[in-house]
Amino acid sequence: MTVTSTPAPTALITGASRGLGAAIARELAATHELLLGARTADALAPILAELPGATGWPVALTDYPAVATAAESIGRLDVLVHNAGIADLGTVVESSVEQWRSTLEVNLIAVAELTRILLPALRAANGHVVLINSGAGLRANAGWASYAASKFGLRAFADALRLEEPTLRVTSIFPGRIDTDMQRAIVADERRDYRPEEFLTPETVAGAVRTAVDTPRDGHPTEIVLRPR
């Protein structure tokens, strides 16, 4: 009798070089073939050394011709985790047109375009799209207008994609503030002491991604909201 093994599912994680993206990669490494995205190969070197079974996928997500070329070899994709993003904060009066454009470009438009390009591969696998949103995607605070607008838009994109692509699962994850290098920069701008215990750990949020991905196929986890205790 010939026994054929089922290949491991494939997951592409953007922004995987450090912080939350690296934590998600570690969480999925045992069960998935990983494609790890970042802007440069050098940025990916540490996580690829840690997870030698993973494959680097270095491309700037706002370079759309380069993204299309990089995606050509992906014929089937079980999980797409949109984690890459920026937080360039400021009040409305302080925020320039360039800041609004760059925030929306990275946090929303690049997500939509990468998803569009990979839809054939996702459809082939009846795949799962996981979008790392933010508490700012549920409410807007003073000084966070452009960032919140990008995250509100990301939620709308997920809701529309879920309706348009009924063979896919689409999960928006709304974490509170996470203990990462990005968070340290934000707190420094707020001119207060950094206290890691105030924030979620990357591992906790990565665990929520794992929970969504592992949900049996008869269930569709549409939204997960996490807050620091």
The residues annotated with a catalytic role in the active site are 147
Q: Is the distance from CB of 35 to CB of 11 less than 8 angstroms?
A: yes
The whole-angstrom separation of Cα 177 and Cα 134 is: 8
Element (H, E) at 43: helix 41-50
Q: Where are the alpha helices (DSSP H) in 51-165?
A: 64-71, 97-104, 110-124, 145-164
Q: Is the distance from CB of 139 to CB of 155 less than 8 angstroms?
A: no
SS3 label, residue 38: strand
Q: List the structure tokens of 229.
A: 């205790």
Q: Is the distance from CB of 127 to CB of 168 less than 8 angstroms?
A: yes
What crossing angle do the helices spanning 19-28 and 202-214 adopt, rounded to 10°? 40
Q: Is the distance from CB of 179 to CB of 201 less than 8 angstroms?
A: yes
β-strand 223-226 against 128-132: which pairing, if any?
unpaired
